[in-house]
Amino acid sequence: MELKTQPVLWAFFLMLSLWSQVCRSVSVHFLDPKPLYVVQGQILALHTEIGITTKEAVPTVVWERVSPDAKHPVKVAEYPGQAPDKRIFIEEQGAVLKITNFVHADSGVYTINVTDHLGRVASAQHIVEEYMAVHHVSVMVNVSHTSLHCKEAWGTQPVFSWMHEQAKVDGSHGRLSPDNSTLFVTARLCGLFTCVVSNRLGHSSATYTSEPCERKGNGGTVAVVCLFLLLIGAGALLFLLWRRRRQHRSRGERLREYDGPL
pLDDT beyond 60 at 70: yes
Q: What is the mean pLDDT of the chain?
A: 82
Confidence of residue 262 (pLDDT cuts 50, 70, 90): very low
Count of alpha carbons within 13 Å of 144, Cβ hemisphere only?
A: 5
Mean pLDDT of 130-159: 92
pLDDT at residue 143 in the model: 74
pLDDT at residue 82 in the model: 79
- Report the alpha-carbon distance of residue 169 to residue 74 in Å, rounded: 49
pLDDT (tens digit per residue) in 9-36? 445 444 544 444 444 578 999 999 999 9
pLDDT at residue 121 in the model: 92
pLDDT beyond 70 at 54: no
Mean pLDDT of 166-187: 89
Percentage of the residues of the chain whose pLDDT score is greater than 70: 76
pLDDT at residue 186 in the model: 85
- Report the alpha-carbon distance of residue 93 to residue 61 in Å, rounded: 8
Mean pLDDT of 115-141: 93
Rounded to two decimals, the pTM is 0.67
pLDDT at residue 253 in the model: 54
Cis peptide before 80 (omega within 30 of 0): yes
pLDDT at residue 12 in the model: 47
pLDDT at residue 17 in the model: 47
pLDDT at residue 110 in the model: 97
Report which of 31, 73, 36 is spatially closest to residue 51, judged by C-alpha positions: 31
pLDDT (tens digit per residue) in 89-113? 999 989 999 999 999 999 999 999 9
pLDDT (tens digit per residue) in 195-251? 999 999 999 999 999 888 877 554 555 556 666 677 777 777 776 776 677 666 665
pLDDT at residue 214 in the model: 77
Mean pLDDT of 64-89: 88
pLDDT at residue 224 in the model: 62
Confidence of residue 69 (pLDDT cuts 50, 70, 90): confident
pLDDT at residue 242 in the model: 65
pLDDT at residue 20 in the model: 44
Domains defined along the chain, listed by start:
24-130 (2.60.40.10), 138-209 (2.60.40.10)
pLDDT at residue 179 in the model: 93
Task: Give the 3-state DSSP-derived string for the chain, with helices as H, strands as E and coil as C.
Answer: CHHHHHHHHHHHHHHHHHHHHHHCCCEEEECCCCCEEECCCCCEEEEEEEECCCCCCCCEEEEEEECCCCCCCEEEEEECCCCCCCCEEEECCCCEEEECCCCHHHCEEEEEEEECCCCCEEEEEEEEEECCCCCCCEEEECCCCCEEEEECCCCCCCEEEEEECCEECCCCCEEECCCCCEEEECCCCCCEEEEEEEECCEEEEEEEECCCCCCCCHHHHHHHHHHHHHHHHHHHHHHHHHHHHHHHHHHHHHHHHCCCCC
pLDDT beyond 70 at 8: no
